Chains A and B, each alone.
Chain A
Amino acid sequence: MDFVLALGAGLLATLKDVMPIAIIIFGFQLLVIRKSIPHLKKVLFGFFYVLIGLVLFLQGLEQALFPLGKLMAAQLTDPSFIYAGMAAIPDVIHWGDYMWVYIFAAAIGFSTTIAEPSLLAVAIKAEEVSGGTISVWGLRIAVAIGVAVGISLGTFRIITGTPLQYYIMTGYVIVIIQTFYAPKLIIALAYDSGGVTTSTVTVPLVAALGLGLASTVPGRSPLLDGFGLIAFASLFPIMSVMAYAQLTEWRERRHKIRDSEESE
């Protein structure tokens, strides 16, 4: 019974989410474009599937992954775990003591990104448009590596308490430099992949990790220091996707040089 209630509540919430989009699309279609939608029945079924899919997806996350993920974030950042085996919790913390937190941040960033539905949508489109040069898995793994590095560095920032903007601005400089050297085809997609990585799966888990750290590390305030992980997670994939394209291009060029040397 509880399960059905939760599912109903989830359906209502998702409907509320989808409603404005449906109104805008069908409003413009009927009033401005004034043509019937091709394959209307199939499209409506598609919307229905999206709705059902999101409801089940969110319900499953609420039931399985979020409680456990949040619990683990709390346990891993708890000083009694980090300083287990020591007589007293030291007053001055050392960033090296939080090794498991960095590893967990990277692992959870990587794996939630792989499961992120909006990234999958963009990856499917990118493979279609590029005619297979950019593969779904290549893009997803490149983005996931970016998120992993980003979130890991973000937890390091919370623990050391260094200002967020210095990291982000350094990131911007690297992105700008890479933009001028990366293959032109990848640039727009790389910029996009920054925004798509952080949605349904990643945000709640990462936010829990940030808040857990900021409330247990001495001298940090959850209100002021708990933010910023999402910003890291949306900046680093831009770099890793461009790096992925640069690496692919470089390897192809080397192959060509070797091939031409062999044929001589």
Chain B
Amino acid sequence: MRAQFSIFLGYFLNSARDLASIIAVIAFFQLVVLQQPIPNLGEILGGVLLVMLGLTFFIRGLEMGLFPIGESMAYAFARKGSVFWLLLFAFCLGFGTTVAEPALIAVAQEAASVAAVGGVIEHTDAAMNSYATGLRYTVAVSVGFAILLGVLRILKGWPIHYLIITGYAGVVLMTTIAPAEIIGIAYDSGGVTTSTITVPLVTALGVGLASSIKGRNPMTDGFGLIAFASLTPMIFVMAYGMMF
């Protein structure tokens, strides 16, 4: 029990250090640049304490739950040797974690209002909702596809940069033919798809796979899944924008 407590205390102090820079930035701009008092100081201090506690629990849970399960599943799939099930798992993980992502839901709705203002779709709630839902599923499929492709890359040992450069070429090509309104949203959608729970899981999966397959290096082959997951949505969203 005491050992547990001292571990938590250590994490808590680290979290405090992680947050110190945000607090310093906000305090400096509020007090020195804008020269205004900080409103609701008590509530803000309480909030900062919650953030620190939250970060502490999250990191501890990461090391107890998400990292081990990602790795143990990677080992189990590698031992089982079934490429089909592994790829299906990769797709489901990408799709399932993205489709419910709150940041993505928000971006999809904004995209729908841009499309409505731009006259691409009708300016009604029904049309905007169906546009947003379609966009959300498009991004989720693209992330599922990205994780699948990334896992396949680890299995085959393809060098990552050729795939990424091909992806960049795809983005550039799509940019030249996609409607101008969609470009900003498409570029941003790459960044918002990877949530705080997905990232540790997918990283552990990749590193676990690369270390359990002979001839793969966990450093060069294990990372890179997230990179695909932030590239394919850009291409898919621009393609979606072109369909209307």
- On A, residues with C-beta under 8 Å from B are 13, 16-21, 23-25, 28-29, 32-33, 35, 37-39, 42-65, 68-69, 72, 75-76, 81, 100, 104, 107-108, 110-112, 114-115, 117-118, 120-122, 124-126, 129-130, 164-165, 168-169, 172, 175-176, 179, 184-185, 187-189, 191-192, 194-201, 203, 223-231, 233-234
Chain B residues contacting A76 (CB-CB under 8 Å) are 29, 33-34
* A47, B61: Cβ atoms closer than 8 Å: yes
B122 near A: Cβ within 8 Å?
no
In the bound complex, how far is the Cα of B159 from the Cα of A179, in angstroms? 12
With both beta carbons as reference points, the residue of chain B lying nearest to A227 in the complex is identified as: B184
With both beta carbons as reference points, the residue of chain B lying nearest to A166 in the complex is identified as: B175
Interface residue from A23, A62, A195, A225 paired with B96 (Cβ < 8 Å): A23
B121 near A: Cβ within 8 Å?
no
* B223, A126: Cβ atoms closer than 8 Å: yes
Interface residue from A112, A121, A164, A187 paired with B199 (Cβ < 8 Å): A121
With both beta carbons as reference points, the residue of chain A lying nearest to B59 in the complex is identified as: A120
* B224, A59: Cβ atoms closer than 8 Å: no
Q: Give B20-40 interface residues, CB cut-off 8 Å to A.
A: 21-22, 24-26, 28-30, 33-34, 36, 38-39
B204 near A: Cβ within 8 Å?
yes
Q: Give B183-215 interface residues, CB cut-off 8 Å to A.
A: 183-185, 187-188, 190-201, 203-204, 207, 211
Q: Whole-angstrom distance from the CB of A210 to the nearest CB of chain B? A: 9
Whether A60 contacts B25 in the complex (CB less than 8 A), given A43-B64, A53-B55, A130-B219, comes out as no
Of B26, B49, B59, B175, most A-chain CB atoms within 10 Å: B26
Q: List 30 A-B contacts (CB under 8 A).
A: A16-B100, A17-B101, A24-B96, A33-B76, A50-B58, A50-B197, A51-B61, A53-B60, A56-B51, A58-B54, A59-B50, A65-B26, A72-B30, A104-B25, A115-B51, A117-B58, A121-B199, A122-B226, A125-B204, A126-B223, A130-B219, A164-B187, A168-B187, A179-B164, A188-B219, A188-B223, A195-B193, A195-B227, A230-B192, A233-B191
Chain A residues contacting B221 (CB-CB under 8 Å) are 188
Interface of B is mostly: helix
* B73, A49: Cβ atoms closer than 8 Å: no
In the bound complex, how far is the Cα of B181 from the Cα of A59, in angstroms? 34
* A60, B48: Cβ atoms closer than 8 Å: yes
Chain A residues contacting B82 (CB-CB under 8 Å) are 32
In the bound complex, how far is the Cα of B66 from the Cα of A200, in angstroms? 18
Chain B residues contacting A32 (CB-CB under 8 Å) are 80, 82, 85, 89
Interface of A is mostly: helix
* B197, A230: Cβ atoms closer than 8 Å: no
In the bound complex, how far is the Cα of B117 from the Cα of A60, in angstroms? 35
**Beyond A29-B73, A62-B47, A187-B160, 7 extra complex contacts between A and B, CB < 8 Å:** A28-B85, A60-B47, A115-B22, A126-B223, A199-B192, A223-B117, A224-B114
Whether A61 contacts B191 in the complex (CB less than 8 A), given A114-B18, A120-B59, comes out as no
In the bound complex, how far is the Cα of B192 from the Cα of A230, in angstroms? 8
What 7 pairs across the A-B complex have the smallest Cβ distances?
Answer: A46-B65, A64-B47, A57-B54, A49-B61, A60-B50, A53-B58, A46-B64
Whether A50 contacts B199 in the complex (CB less than 8 A), given A188-B219, A194-B230, A196-B194, comes out as no
In the bound complex, how far is the Cα of B70 from the Cα of A24, in angstroms? 12
Chain A residues contacting B57 (CB-CB under 8 Å) are 49-50, 52-53, 56
In the bound complex, how far is the Cα of B198 from the Cα of A192, in angstroms? 13
* B54, A60: Cβ atoms closer than 8 Å: yes
B126 near A: Cβ within 8 Å?
no
Q: Whole-angstrom distance from the CB of A215 to the nearest CB of chain B? A: 13
Q: Whole-angstrom distance from the CB of A39 to the nearest CB of chain B? A: 7
B133 near A: Cβ within 8 Å?
no
Interface residue from A58, A125, A185, A197 paired with B220 (Cβ < 8 Å): A185
Interface residue from A63, A120, A189, A199 paired with B50 (Cβ < 8 Å): A63
Chain B residues contacting A223 (CB-CB under 8 Å) are 110, 113-114, 117
In the bound complex, how far is the Cα of B97 from the Cα of A61, in angstroms? 22
In the bound complex, how far is the Cα of B49 from the Cα of A114, in angstroms? 17
* A164, B54: Cβ atoms closer than 8 Å: no
Chain B residues contacting A226 (CB-CB under 8 Å) are 184
Q: Give B122-159 interface residues, CB cut-off 8 Å to A.
A: none
* A64, B51: Cβ atoms closer than 8 Å: yes
* A203, B192: Cβ atoms closer than 8 Å: yes
Of A23, A45, A48, A194, most B-chain CB atoms within 10 Å: A194
